[in-house]
Structure 1
Amino acid sequence: MNYLLAALGVIGVSASGPIMAATAAPALAIAFWRNSLGAVIMGVPAGIRQRTRFRQLGTAEYQWSAIAAVALALHFACFISALKLTSVAAATALVCLQAAWIAFYQLFGGIRPARAVLGGLGMALAGVLVISGFDLTVSPEAILGDGLAVAGGALAAFYTMAGGQARRTMSTGVYTTLCYGACALLLAVMCAALGQPLTGFDGKAWLGILAVTLVAQIMGHSIFNHLLATISPLVVSMIILLEIPGAAVLAAVFLGEKLPGGTYVGLGLILVGLAVVVLRQGRSGVKAPHPPQ
C-alpha cells in the first residue's frame, strides 16, 4: 500500500509544474488561489478536531509560521513565474535544489557538511550551469526563468527550515492552516500592489487552479506527510526526487515540451547530486526536506 501511495504522491508533485505552466492566469493569482483553497481544505478538519489547540498557540509558533508563510509566498511567486519563462523540466529541477540550499545554510550555521555532500553540491551546481548554458541559446527569458527557479529553491529551503521549527509543537493541520492562510493574504497584497487580477479567468484557468490545488498541494504533499509516519524521512526524500524526471516526462507528453539534448545531462547531474546530498544528510541525522511545489 505504501508503494502505491508513494507512486501517487510522485505523480501529484510532478504534475505541479506542468499544470501551472498550462494555466492561463497570472503567477501570483495561481499561487493565491492554491494557498487559499489549501488553507480551507486543511483548515476545516483541523478546526473541528483541534479547535482548542488554535487558542493555545504561543508567540514563537505564530512567528515561525509567519516566517514560513513569507518564504512560501515568495517561493511561489518565483517558481510559478519561472514556469512561464523557462521549460517545466528546468524550472522543476532548479527549484528542487532546496536540499542543496539547506546544506549551504547549515554551513553558515556552523554545521560542516561531509565531503560527499560537498561533492553532491558540486555535481548539482554543474547541472545548473549545463542547463543555464543551453537555455542561454534559447532566449534571455529562459535564463531569467532559470534564475527565478534557483531563487525559488532557496526560498523553499528557508520555508522548510522555518516550518521545521514551527512543526516541533504544531500538528500538520494546524501549521498548514496558519501557513497557507497567511501566505494567501501576502499573495493577495502582492497581487493588489502589482495590479494582477484574482478573478476574471476562463473556465480552463479555474480548472487548472483547482487541479494544482487538489493534485499537488493536497494529494501530493498530504501523501508524503502521511508516509513520514510509516517510512523513514530519508526514503521519502529520495522518492520525492523522482519529481525531477516525472515533471520532465509529464511536460513532454502533455505540453509537447522539447528540450536540447544537453539539458537532460544537466537534469541528470542535479538528480544524482541531490541524491548524494539527501543520502549523506540522512546518515548524519539531518531530516531531509520535501518540496512545497
Structure 2
Amino acid sequence: MNAMNRTKVPIPVFLLIGIIAISFSAIFVRWSDAPAAVTAMYRLLMTNVLMLPFLWNYRSEITSIRLRDWLRTAASGIALGLHFLFWMDSLRFTTVASSTAILTLEPIFVLVGAFLFYGQKTSRAAVMAMCVAIVGAVFIGWGDFQFSGAALKGDFLSLIGTVAVALHMLWGKGLRERISAFVYSFFVFLFAGLVLAITNVITGTSFTAYPAKEWGVFLLLAIIPTVFGHYVFNWLLKYMKASSVSMTVLGEPLGASILAYFLLGEKITSIQLLAGCLLLVGVGLFLRSNEKQ
C-alpha cells in the first residue's frame, strides 16, 4: 500500500501546506525585535505547550523507545535548535531573499548524507532537476548577495544554520521509521528549545522583558511555521525520502520573497519571479523522478 492510500489526503497537499507555513517564518522573525535565541526558544517551547494535552495518548510508545533512539532524538533536536539560532540571527544582518536562498543548499547536504548514512541512491535526472531548482532559488536572492560587511555575516550564519537543519533532517529520517511524527516532533522541539534556553542563560539574556507584540510573534511562529511547517515535514519523512522533503523546502525562498514584498516592503524583480518559476519546475521534476511511487 503506498503513501497516498495510507494518508487519505494526497501528500502534495501536505507539501504545499508545509511550504506556505515555513515561508511565514522569515516574516515573523523580521517583525520581532527580541534576540534570535529568545524568539527561537519560545517558538519551540510554545509549540510543546500546544502539543502537551495530546502527549498522554502516546505514553506506551514513549516508554518503549530505546536509549539509542533517545540519544539520536536529542541530537536531532540540538541540530534543529542550532538551525533556528543561526538562521534566525542571520535575518538581522541580511535580507529575507538572501538568507532563504542560502537554505537551498540543504537538499545537497541531505542528498550526500542520505547516500553515506542510508545508501539511498538518486537518479541522474533527479540530480539535474535539483540543480535546476537550486539555480532558480539562488537567483531569487542573487541581487541581495553582498560579500562584505553585515550582509556577509548574515549569509554565513544562514549557511551554518543550513548545515544544522540538514543533520536534523537526516537523523529524523531514521527515527521516523520507528517513532511516530507526534512523539518525534514533541521531543525534538523540546530538546531544541532547551538548547536555546541554556544559550540564553549563558549569555544572560532576559526571558521576560518583552512587550505584548513580541509574545504574539512567538505564538505565531509556534503555530504557523512550526506546527504547520516543521511538524508536517517530520510527518512526511516516513512516506518520502529525506532528500525529497528537503527539496520541497526550496519553495521557501519564493514564498518568503513574495510575502516580504507584501508585508515588509522588500522589492521583488522580474528576474526573481522568473527564477521562482524555474525553481518550481526543478522541484516538480525532482519529486517526480525521486518519488516514483
TM-score (norm 1): 0.80
Moved more, 122-131 or 158-167: 122-131
Query: What is residue 5 of structure 2 aligned with on the other side?
Result: none
> Which 5+ residue runs of structure 2 have no aligned equivalent?
1-7
Pair 1:56-2:61 in alignment: no
Query: What is residue 189 of structure 1 aligned with on the other side?
Result: 198
Change (3 A) 1:279 1:191: farther
Moved more, 256-265 or 192-201: 256-265
Change (3 A) 1:151 1:263: farther
> Which 5+ residue runs of structure 1 have no aligned equivalent?
286-293
Once the two structures are TM-superposed, the CA of residue 271 in structure 1 deviates from its matched residue by 4.9
Q: Residues 124-163 of structure 1 correspond to what in structure 2 (within 5 A)?
A: 126=135, 130=139, 134-137=143-146, 140-163=149-172
In 2, the alpha carbon distance for the partners of 1:5 and 1:124 equals: 20
Identity %, equivalent residues: 26
**AA of the residue aligned to 2:217:** G
Pair 1:206-2:215 in alignment: yes
Pair 1:165-2:165 in alignment: no
**AA of the residue aligned to 2:212:** G
Once the two structures are TM-superposed, the CA of residue 18 in structure 1 deviates from its matched residue by 0.6
* Partner secondary structure for residue 13 of structure 1: helix
Of 85, 89, 93, which aligns to 1:85? 93
* Partner secondary structure for residue 198 of structure 1: coil
Change (3 A) 1:157 1:270: farther
Of 6, 25, 28, which aligns to 1:19? 28
CA contact (8 A) 2:93 2:154 kept: yes
Change (3 A) 1:50 1:73: same
Pair 1:216-2:222 in alignment: no
CA contact (8 A) 2:137 2:254 kept: no
* Partner secondary structure for residue 80 of structure 1: helix
In 2, the alpha carbon distance for the partners of 1:82 and 1:267 equals: 22
Change (3 A) 1:112 1:178: closer
* Partner secondary structure for residue 135 of structure 1: coil
**AA of the residue aligned to 2:58:** Q
